[in-house]
């Protein structure tokens, strides 16, 4: 049973560019949450998608946006990249309000 799949695994972008990260949830899960994890810190909640709509949002600027597709997969978009956006971006899937989250291995984004 495939877990959560994230792509790409590593990415290097230049300041000011835009990036799209992708996530395929675990089979049977309908909810996708995105997290940003800076080095040495716990994951910070960005937003959560359910039924193709953003349902919850953390304290992140509008440069961070997302999308969920009918097959429950999701994208995270970050515009106008800053050096401070360099982090591990984690995707987690779940069934709404039930059970634990399943996390992917993350995408390591480096902004230079």
Q: Where on the chain is the footprint of other proteins (CB under 8 A)?
A: 4, 33, 35, 41-45, 48, 50, 55-56, 58, 88, 90, 92, 95-106
Q: Between 72 and 103, whose beta carbon lies closer to other proteins?
A: 103
Smallest distance, other proteins to C-beta of residue 97, A? 4
Residues 6+ apart with CB under 8 A from 84: 111
Distance CA 24, CA 26 (A): 7
Q: Between 54 and 79, whose beta carbon lies closer to other proteins?
A: 54
Smallest distance, other proteins to C-beta of residue 5, A? 11
Q: Between 2 and 14, whose beta carbon lies closer to other proteins?
A: 2
Smallest distance, other proteins to C-beta of residue 95, A? 8
Neighbours of 89 (CB within 10 A): 24
Distance CA 18, CA 108 (A): 15
The secondary structure of the chain in percent helix, strand, coil, rounded to multiples of 5, reads: 5, 55, 40
Q: Between 20 and 44, whose beta carbon lies closer to other proteins?
A: 44
Smallest distance, other proteins to C-beta of residue 92, A? 7
C-alpha of 46 from chain center: 8
């Amino acid at each position: 049973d495939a877990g959560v799949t994230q792509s790409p695994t590593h990415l290097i972008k230049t300041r000011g560019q835009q990036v799209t990260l992708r996530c395929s949830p675990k089979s049977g899960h309908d909810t996708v949450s995105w997290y940003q994890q800076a080095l040495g810190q716990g994951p910070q909640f960005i937003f959560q998608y359910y039924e193709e709509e953003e349902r919850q949002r953390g304290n992140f600027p509008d440069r961070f946006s997302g999308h969920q597709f009918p097959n429950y997969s999701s994208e995270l978009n970050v515009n106008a990249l800053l050096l401070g956006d360099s982090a591990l971006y984690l995707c987690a899937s779940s069934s709404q309000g039930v059970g634990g989250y399943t996390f992917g291995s993350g995408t390591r984004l480096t902004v230079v």
